[in-house]
Amino acid sequence: MPKLSPSMRTALIFAAAIALPFVGHNGGFTNFLADAGAFVLLALGLNIVVGFAGLLDLGYAAFFAIGSYSFAMLASPQYGIHLPFWVVLFLASGIAAVFGILLGAPTLRLRGDYLAIVTLGFGEIVPQTFLNLTQWTGGPNGIGSLDQPTILVPNLGAHASGGLFTTYKFGFDALPYYFTVLALIALAVWVASNLRNSRLGRAWMAIREDELAAAHMGINTTTAKLAAFALGASFSGLAGCALASKLQLVSPDQFGFNVSVYILAMLVLGGMGNIPGVIVGSLILSSLERFILPQATNFIHGLQIPGVDLSHVDLSNSRFMIYGVILVLMMLFRPEGLIPSGQRKAELHAADADDTAAAQEQELYSGAAH
């Protein structure tokens, strides 16, 4: 069997993704795919910050909120502004990127735990700000009745209506939203792949391995880190805009700290720094939350154990405890993730390789001495 090139494999994967919603014609499954696709897009953005550049960001949901509220304010009755979805989509991405730079600028000298704490604070400030600015953001009720995306489609009855195209509104059908998110994922994968192999991408990886050594090698760490924050935030803005248009509602409780942890868990599970691994990790955790845990709860309720009442067990309410267990197990037994990048795997196992080489050298020395 001939070996497929990476571009051919990618094309086949996206072809399968296009056909996936038509398998069984299940509206609920298509709705899940659209929601899961938005989180894949979020994970791809966080992968630039954490996986490529090695900057631990625990407030990533803040950019998700900024993208969502940007769409809500520019395409809803809230201010009487009704910009087209396709325009706001990239405006929201740009606005989130600007805030990514604003977050990155004060943290340029911070590393490790200190950087994580600052980003955690930013992630808490943004939702609380949207919650408290009731006059402009609707407070805890959020902003509803958001404009639905529209596209022009060929008008088969053009001879009767007098126009070649007619406007198609997405409505509440999940299928067009899924294809929109899928197109955004394709764009994000293309951008991330090219960035990883670019001069900027190599600078990110050098900073991830040793920032001080990278600076002494002539890498402008300030520019590289700001670019990582900006590009990662821009992906989050795209996802926020796409998901807000689908849900037709934005509220502050959608962007808590648990969302940042959820997205970070996708990276850890799939493999930081590896785009296919990030996508697989995202889909696994999305499936776990939407399908596996509810089905496991129903299975437990059906068990008949004398003297034990299992009717109150709900695994969905314990999902973050389960995510925590998964993360602990991954860190213990496979810290590089399910589908790791070769470079990341080599970095994590460099100490093991050094120990093995030292043991072999010691064994050879002992044999020569005898």
* Residue (of 206, 212, 227) closest to 343 by Cα position: 206
Give residue 355's pLDDT.
Answer: 56
Give residue 191's pLDDT.
Answer: 94
* Residue (of 180, 182, 170) closest to 146 by Cα position: 170
- Rg (the chain; Cα; Å): 23
Give residue 25's pLDDT.
Answer: 63
* Residue (of 21, 293, 63, 341) closest to 181 by Cα position: 21
pLDDT above 50 for 153: yes
203 vs 66: CA distance, rounded Å? 28
pLDDT above 80 for 74: yes
**Residues 37 and 178 sit within 8 Å (Cβ to Cβ):** yes
Give residue 43's pLDDT.
Answer: 95
Least confident window among 13-22, 42-51, 229-238, 360-369: 360-369
- Cα 309 to chain centroid distance, Å, stands at 38
pLDDT above 90 for 46: yes
Q: Where are the domains of the chain?
A: 6-153+164-254
Kindly write down the DSSP assignment for every residue of 216-285, as one continuous string.
HTT--HHHHHHHHHHHHHHHHHHHHHHHHHHHTEE-GGGS-HHHHHHHHHHHHHH-TT-HHHHHHHHHHH
265 vs 263: CA distance, rounded Å? 5
Give residue 100's pLDDT.
Answer: 93
Please name every residue paired with 150 in a beta bridge, in sequence order, or none if there are none. Answer: 169
Q: What's the pLDDT band for 1 if we cut at 50, 70, 90?
A: very low
Kindly write down the DSSP assignment for every residue of 322-350, as one continuous string.
HHHHHHHHHHHH-TT-SS--HHHHHHHTH
pTM as predicted: 0.88
Q: Helix, strand, or coil here: 305?
A: coil
pLDDT above 80 for 22: no
Give residue 164's pLDDT.
Answer: 75
Sequence letter at residue 342: G
Q: What's the pLDDT band for 34 if we cut at 50, 70, 90?
A: very high
Q: Which residue has the higher pLDDT, 168 or 91?
A: 91
Q: What's the pLDDT band for 347 if we cut at 50, 70, 90?
A: low
- Beta strand ranges found along 43-174 (DSSP E): 75-76, 81-82, 143-144, 150-154, 165-169
Tokens standing for 144?
Answer: 């509803």
